[in-house]
Amino acid sequence: MKIKKPNFLLLLLFFSVYTVAQNSSDEKQYYKWFDNTIGVENTGLYNGVEYIDAEQAKGEFVKFLYRGDFRLGTIEYEGQTYYDIPLKYDVYNDKVVVKIIGDNSTSILQLFTEKLTFFEVNGKNFSKIVNRTTENDNDNLSGFYEVLFNSSEIKVYKKHRKGQLRQIKNKTLLFEYKPKSPRYFLEYQNNMYTVKSKRDFIQLFPELKNEINEIGVENAVKRNNPDAYMLAYAKQINILLSKN
């Protein structure tokens, strides 16, 4: 899509104010001020394809991370960070959709995955992984993964997944998207590993076997809240690794 060039004086004003922002830790506010001043439709974010939901679902079983309208989030796109952008994450297709509200029109765009580095929505942070291979399962990891835990020692990623169901009702093709069990991956010393249970953590850190066994997270937590299950082990292992 064609991008309008922002006013040159506004650019000069932005860069002079941005210098002050760096010194006062108000970078986010000045980026928002700049985007609001020139209009988000005149920034690099206005660079995607028109989004048409040809597989739209009705009811609660939608393809997106959340039901309902767009939610405000943060995006890094082509190296530029944008704040308070209305967005949706299409879990089924692994795509990010944004609403660009201009002075005279509103556009719904599907962003180019290759230009998008990370996004945050509703307190969840997602990072793009490209062609990483797990050491234990030889999986090829590509796409957007929620960062559940992030430290200097280890990182834990969650891959959200949904499956599509089709049915014909009154000669109309309808779609439903049911959540599938998420997958979890641990990054350690620049290697990626699939983790499903305590056994996987012990295999990765055999020297910490006794300490990991003492964590003792109940299987009910694994069934009902797998995020909490993974975090319980990740946080404790991180503490143990940082002591070595």
pLDDT tens for 56-85 read 787 778 999 998 899 999 999 999 999 999
- pTM of the full structure: 0.81
Residue 72, CA distances (Å) to 21, 22, 59, 62, 214 in order: 23, 24, 22, 19, 41
Mean pLDDT of the 100-108 span? 81
Q: What is the per-residue pLDDT across 211-236, written as a single tens digit (0 to 9) for each?
A: 999 987 877 888 889 999 999 999 99
- pLDDT score for 51: 85
Q: What is the DSSP string of 113-164?
A: GGGEEEEEETTEEEEEEEEEEBTTT-PEEEEEEEEEEE-SSEEEEEEEEEEE
Residue 10 above 80 pLDDT? Answer: no
Mean pLDDT of the 7-24 span? 44
β-sheet with 124-133: strand ranges across? 48-50, 106-111, 95-101, 80-90, 71-77, 116-121, 124-133, 140-150, 154-169, 172-188, 191-194
- Beta pairing, strands 71-77 & 124-133: unpaired
CA R_g for the chain: 21
Q: Look-up: residue for tokens 């999986």?
A: 139
Nearest residue to 110 (alpha-carbon basis) of 125, 124, 122, 92: 92
pLDDT band at 3 (very low <50, low <70, confident <90, very high): very low
Domain boundaries, the chain: 1-38
Mean pLDDT of the 138-157 span? 95
Q: What's the chain's average pLDDT?
A: 83
Cα–Cα distance measured from residue 107 to residue 101, given in angstroms and rounded to the nearest whole number: 7
Lowest mean pLDDT among 72-81, 85-94, 102-111: 102-111
Mean pLDDT of the 136-155 span? 93
**CA atoms lying within 13 Å on the CB side of residue 92:** 18
Cα–Cα distance measured from residue 101 to residue 41, given in angstroms and rounded to the nearest whole number: 7
Enter the tokens of residue 50: 């028109």
Q: What is the per-residue pLDDT across 22-58, written as a single tens digit (0 to 9) for each?
A: 554 465 543 443 344 334 444 556 667 888 888 878 7
Mean pLDDT of the 203-217 span? 92
